[in-house]
Amino acid sequence: MRSKQFGGKPTKTLIDRYQQSDNWQDGKFQNLEFTDMDISLYKIPGIIYQQLTNRAAREPAAPLPLTNFNRPHFLSPSESARFIWYGHSALLLRLSNRTILIDPMLGPNASPIAPFPTRRFSSNTLELIDEFPEIDLLLLTHDHYDHLDFASIKRLQSKTKNYFVALGVKRHLVHWGIDPDRIVEFDWWEKRDFRDISVTFTPTRHFSGRGLTDRAKSLWGGWVFRTASENIWFSGDGGYGSHFKEIGDRLGPFDFAFMECGQYNEHWALIHLFPEESIQAAMDAGARKVMPVHWGGFSLAPHTWTDPVERFHRAATEHGLPLTLPQLGKPYLITENQVEKWWVG
């Protein structure tokens, strides 16, 4: 029996719809520039060795603590957007008096179909969902397991009103029992107003898939949120490319940018940003203040667990780019500064 974890299959009817996208070619979605993701056989032993060594430095010595959720404080009116980061790319955002949840992978394991688990750095994160307020809008950048989690989606189902997702991701949610009428799919550069928030889906240089047969059968990207007073960008997963400048030219500059920074390696350098590239991408797009995401949750690459934030901090400082480095579970306004090295010690 097919595991629920895989989500929905890309049926012929769905493929016919995906083919209408300008970003579909040769039977799958394509990046804007050539992106070779094939790894030669002779490199595989070295990659396996990297993944199996230096385990102690790749994970914190003890579970990372999370600040308890304070609903009245999170929902209280403020002059700027408020957010809470839960590690990796899970982000709760309060914007224009609406509660927005991005890539809510709050489960304990980022490899649910693999023989060995990829355990989360924090404990009991699924239980956080019970404390969350009603979610006005849930957004998904793509369908990888470290971003789209079956257990989290099911636990959120009763309190989530609307879903904005990458083109092709809807089939997974429908397969899991979500009302299709509440789900809107986006191709790159598509824009839709949600109350008084303009939401745009932006391109990244990445890929998708939850099994052996659905690679690149759904799209991947990031999100821009514009209100009358603020412009915020969530970069999404993906390697460096010319699309960052185009995002800035078309939709920037940005008051705040949540930048992918983590799970990188030279063997997949085209599909994940190294920290220095993350800062360069933010500058290309015209971000005025930045924060690293895609770290602090799981170890999916051979680097140490603190390498992303240390290098991101150093690169931002060298370029004079303001940044914030929030503690897990603690609410912040995007206008606040947090640069204490809470991960040290």
Angle at 258 between CA 261 and CA 126, to 5 degrees: 85
For residue 254, how far is the Cα from the chain centroid? 18
Residue 146: CA atoms inside 13 Å, Cβ hemisphere, count?
Answer: 26
The amino acid sitting at 163 is Y
Is pLDDT at 71 greater than 70 in this prediction? yes
> The domain that contains 221 carries what CATH number?
3.60.15.10
Question: Would 172 be classed as within a structural domain?
Answer: yes
Average pLDDT, the chain: 95
* Confidence at 38, pLDDT banded by 50, 70, 90: low
User: Domain residues for 120?
Assistant: 61-333
Q: Sorting pLDDT into bands at 50, 70 and 90, what band is 43?
A: low
Q: What is the mean pLDDT of residues 306-314?
A: 98
DSSP per-residue letters across 301-317: SSS-TTHHHHHHHHHHH
- d(CA 19, CA 175) in angstroms, rounded, equals 21
- Give how far Cα 25 sits from Cα of 22, 72, 142, 217, 316, Å: 8, 48, 18, 11, 37
Q: What's the total number of domains in the chain?
A: 1
Answer whether residue 295 is part of any domain: yes
**Averaged over 268-294, what is the pLDDT?**
98
Would 37 be classed as within a structural domain?
Answer: no
The two three-digit tokens of residue 92, written as one number: 């709760």
Assess if residue 344 is contained within a domain: no
Q: Is the pLDDT of residue 163 over 70?
A: yes
Exposure string for 128-142, b = 16+ CB within 10 A, e = fewer: bbeebeebbbbbbbb
The better pLDDT of the pair 16, 115 is held by 16
Mean pLDDT of 164-172: 98
DSSP assignments along 19-78, one per residue = TTSTTEETTEE--SS-------GGGHHHHHHHHHS-HHHHS-SSPPP-PPP-HHHHHS--
Instruction: Write down the pLDDT at residue 291.
Output: 98
Angle among Cα 337, 339, 345 to the nearest 5 degrees reads 145
Predicted pLDDT of residue 325 = 98
> Within a domain: residue 22?
no
Residue 180 pLDDT more than 90? yes
In-domain check, residue 10: no
Whether 53 maps to a domain, the answer reads no
Question: Does the pLDDT at position 49 exceed 60?
Answer: no
120 near 107, Cβ under 8 Å?
yes
Task: Tell me the C-alpha to C-alpha distance, in Å, between residue 225 and each of 118, 183, 233, 235.
Answer: 31, 18, 6, 11
The amino acid sitting at 114 is A
What angle is formed at CA 21 by the lines to CA 171 and CA 259, rounded to 5 degrees?
A: 75
Q: What is the pLDDT of residue 62?
A: 96
Query: Which pLDDT score is estimated for 50?
Result: 61
Taking 70 as the threshold, does the pLDDT of residue 46 lie above it?
Answer: no
- Can you point out the beta strands (E) in 190-241? 191-194, 197-203, 221-226, 231-234
Mean pLDDT for the stretch of residues 107-129: 95
Whether the CB-CB separation of 241 and 274 falls below 8 Å is answered with no
In a domain, 73, yes or no: yes
* Count of other CB atoms within 10 angstroms of residue 304: 14
